[in-house]
Structure formats: structure tokens, C-alpha cells
Structure 1
């Protein structure tokens, strides 16, 4: 009887000991699981939300990071025009010129309200040429619309509107009046199609003034790789902090021709979609990497 009682006491003690060990283990596991969750929740609360999904312009779609403010530009300037460019609703997809969806939809946070012609001509440089030309058209500065062909020959809108057309023989280009004068908007877009055909990143790289000091960059300037193929993106917003450090937003077209889109910063996600820009730096932009950054500016 005593032996039986003794074993019962031992058995109850072991049961309690096992229960205590299990309880401590479970509590430790819960604490371990909760800790990273707390970290994630804290990060979500502390990190500012830089993208406003319900906004329909570049300026209202993207907030500036803490400690920064937008650089002021005059009303009516090209810089303010770009900053306030209209966007499609958040989540809109990049669409190719043939109405198909682009294969990768994870590098943008906005689609600009720019039609993509079905002719496939409005590629990366062409999209920026269009944006610049439409600004000049809408602000009664049509006499400033003109671009070099890759051959180096200048073709202006005024010349085209008067009926002059290029005759191209290899690298030799001459202009001849073979059409009636036509200053309509339809004629303007036919002119742009001509520019898209004979101009590109290479012509812009050689034609446009270069920016040697990245500290002088402003909205409307472009990061460019001239070539065939090359690539080009445009600065569409600018912010600065008390130390004079600047951040920029970028948009791009692409080859094949597709929706012009406001790109994410996939490298510096803490400030995305803002970018830091430096001359000769390696700068990945969505689906392209500039291995030695160069900058140009429209005249």
C-alpha cells in the first residue's frame, strides 16, 4: 500500500513537471512568433505611405518622404505641366500598341493618360518627344517644335505644316514642298509620326544639351542611353530636403511601344518611387539598367 502511494506521488510529480515544461515551451514559441509580427506591424505604422492609390495626377499620386518638400516651379512651366500630368486609375496595366498586356506589370505605380498609337511608332524616346511637343502646342509655342533626325537634319513642325517633306537618300536628306499647308491637330500628329520614324535616343543624345552636374537636374530633364537600342526616361517631379539632397520621380515609354508609366524604384524600396540620381552611376529603372548615367535637357 505504501509502495503504491509512493509511485502515485512520483507519477503526479512527473505529470506536473511535464506540464510545466510544455507550458514554458508553448509560451516561448508564442513569444517567438509574435516578435517578428510586432516588428512588421511597427514597420508598417512607422514607414510613411508614399503612394496615394485614389489620386489621378503625378503630384497627388506620390507623397514626398519625411523631411522633403517639392521644389517650386512657375505656373505654366514645363515642370509644372509634367508634375500635374493626369494618370489613369491606380492598378491600370501597361498595354502594348497592339492592345496586348505587357508581360511584366510589377515595375510601375501609374499609367499616364497618353494614347498609344496602333502603328507601333511611339517608343521610348518618341513618347517623351510627344509629351514635350504637346506642351509646346498647348502653350502656343508651336514655333519651338522641332527635332533632329538621326542623320542630324533638323525637321520643324512649321516646315512640315507649310507642306515641306523630307526626301531621304541614305544619310542625305533634302526637304521639298510637295503638300498643301495644313496646321491642323491631325497634321501635327502626322508630323510626330515622321519624327518617331527618323529620330530616337541616338539623335536626342547628340542634339540636346547635356547636364554635367547632377545637382543641376530639374523636372523635364532626361536620363539617356543613346543607341540602337538605347533607352530614355524623364524626370517628372522633384523634392529636396534641408541639406539640399534631392529626390526625383521618373516616367518612361518603352520598346515595343506601350503605355507611358510612372516607375517604381525597385532598388531603394524605402523611398520608392523616388530616385536619387548621380552622373555616371549605375541606375536600374524598372526593366532597364543605365550602366553609366548621362543626362540631357530639351532646348
Structure 2
């Protein structure tokens, strides 16, 4: 019972102090973004509504080509993300609908469970972990908790579990070896509970925005914090200009969503890499020096 109390208290503190929270960086999309016109946008960016793979649903802007990615790379994985049917709404963990206008254009087909766990950093970590799991790179799946503990899937699948204390965490042997998808998702649940933008920000490496790659993450760690991941890119071979698409989750826990571009309704959901010092997204504003990489 004592462990349960500690567990619940720590989880609540993480959600309250390190989640995707309201702050001066949060965007109020009730004013200028409200002018976003999907029909006008679709006259420029072709949306194949019947397709359920990201790269098949969204055409690139005229004159652009998708950047090349290596086979079995994280970039290829993200570009081929499965989407729900076009027009579906984002669901919260409790089944409610995120019907907030002018935020997203498509919903990623992802099971987020029925607990308030899958928020912004969790969505990014799950995409990365799913990629590694599908490619059987089990030893590469690891994430730090806010307390600094390195939670390794290689230990978890060998039957070790994690005891989370008030000041530190540790492994203990609890069960036999298992590498089923259910085992993997249970591991991710504890990562969701004890990791955040704060810990994810610490373990990612900064990159120059001009060197952006698919899979890079715009992230502001801490309290409050938020992050969004680059899921596709394209380039104009004549001018060298590049565009990219972003995905996020938010709080309370909700499905991952492909963001619209509130700055350019004719380019949306693509964003220009030449966005200046600040990148305005529907629910958050990042600075160009907040781009990082796994």
C-alpha cells in the first residue's frame, strides 16, 4: 500500500509539473488561426482522403520532391505512419473527442490506452520505440525517467521490473523472459508515467535547424514543456527550399495528430523551413534552437 501511495503521488507530480502545460508559449488559436480555410488549402496541397498512409495521403507542394531516406530508417518509418480514416477526430484517453478547431488535419492510428499517460513527450517516445521494436533493435530501446534512472527494455523483457522510490529507482527480478508486444507496451506505460519533456530534452542532441531530418524533435523541456516531431520532409530541387510536417500529442492524454500550419493555409499541413526565429504551431510556439535528435 505504501508503494502504491508513492507511485500515485509521483505520477501526479510528474503530470502536474512536467507535462505539456499552459504557458506563454502556448498558442491561442481562437483568433488569427480561426481564418484557416481547409478548402482553400486543398486547392494547393492535394489530399488523397482515401489513403491511410501519411506519404500517400499528402502530396508535396508543387515543384517539391520528398527527401530521400534510407531503407529501414526512422525517417522511412515515420513517413509510412498509418493514419485513421480522413475526417476522424482525435480521441482522449477517456474516449472524449478533441473537437478543437484549427489544430490537426489527420489522426495517427495509435492505441493510447485508457489512462492519462500518452501526452506530448510520450507520443514521441512511442514512435521511436515502435520503430526500434519493429526492427528488433531491442537493446536500443531505453528512456530516462525524470529522476535520471535509465529504463532499459533489454532488462524489462528479461523479466526485470522497476521499483520507483521517492529519491531513486531500481530493477528487481519479477517474472520470466518475454518479448511480446503486450510486454513492450507495459514497459512503455511505465516510461510514460515517469518520463517527460524534461527527461527527453536532456537525452536528445541539439541540431541546427538547417540540418533538419525526419525524426527530429522540437522540444521545450520542463514545467511547462511541449514537443512535436518532424514526420516528413520535401525539397524544391531548383531553389533548395525545404518543407516539413509535424505531429504531436498533448494533454490530457490523446492520440497523436498531424498538425495544420497556422501560418500559411495554402502550404498547410506542410511548414516552410524558413520560418525565422520562432516556429508557431497551433498550440505552441518553439524557437529554432529547440530542434533536437535521437
TM-score tier, shorter chain, comes to 0.7 to 0.9
User: Which stretches in structure 2 are left out of the alignment for 5+ residues?
Assistant: 1-38
Q: Which residue is equivalent to 2:11?
A: none
Question: Is 1:273 aligned with 2:232?
Answer: no
More relative contact order, 1 or 2 (CA 8 Å, 6+ apart): 2
- How many residue pairs match? The answer is 255
Q: Which residue is equivalent to 2:284?
A: 288
Equivalent of residue 66 in structure 1, options 50, 62, 69: 62
Q: Check conservation: 1:265, 1:273, Cα contact below 8 A.
A: yes
Q: Secondary structure at the match of 1:270?
A: coil
Question: Is 1:258 aligned with 2:254?
Answer: yes
Q: Check conservation: 2:215, 2:229, Cα contact below 8 A.
A: yes
Q: Check conservation: 1:214, 1:279, Cα contact below 8 A.
A: no
Aligned counterparts of 2:174 and 2:276: Cα–Cα separation in 1: 45
Q: Secondary structure at the match of 1:273?
A: coil
Deviations 1:94-125 (A, max 9, x none): 11110011140432111111112101211111
Aligned counterparts of 2:264 and 2:163: Cα–Cα separation in 1: 48
Equivalent of residue 236 in structure 1, options 225, 231, 236: 231
Q: Secondary structure at the match of 1:175?
A: strand
Q: CA deviation at 1:50?
A: 3.2
Aligned counterparts of 1:293 and 1:89: Cα–Cα separation in 2: 35
Equivalent of residue 198 in structure 2, options 183, 202, 206: 202
Pair 1:79–1:141, CA change in 2 (3 A)? same
Please, what TM-score do these two structures have when normalized by structure 1?
0.79
Computing the radius of gyration over CA atoms, which structure comes out larger, 1 or 2? 1
Q: Secondary structure at the match of 1:129?
A: helix
Equivalent of residue 249 in structure 1, options 235, 245, 250: 245
Q: Secondary structure at the match of 1:98?
A: coil
Aligned counterparts of 1:116 and 1:268: Cα–Cα separation in 2: 30
User: Which stretches in structure 1 are left out of the alignment for 5+ residues?
Assistant: 1-42
Question: Is 1:216 aligned with 2:211?
Answer: yes
Aligned counterparts of 2:270 and 2:46: Cα–Cα separation in 1: 9
Aligned counterparts of 1:224 and 1:106: Cα–Cα separation in 2: 21
Q: CA deviation at 1:75?
A: 2.2
Aligned counterparts of 2:233 and 2:268: Cα–Cα separation in 1: 13
Q: Check conservation: 2:220, 2:290, Cα contact below 8 A.
A: yes
Q: CA deviation at 1:292?
A: 5.8
Q: Which residue is equivalent to 1:57?
A: 53
Aligned counterparts of 1:280 and 1:228: Cα–Cα separation in 2: 25
- Bigger share in helix: 1
Please, what TM-score do these two structures have when normalized by structure 2?
0.81
Q: Which residue is equivalent to 2:293?
A: 297
Q: Secondary structure at the match of 1:158?
A: helix
Pair 1:91–1:170, CA change in 2 (3 A)? same
For the aligned residue pairs, the C-alpha RMSD in angstroms reads 2.2
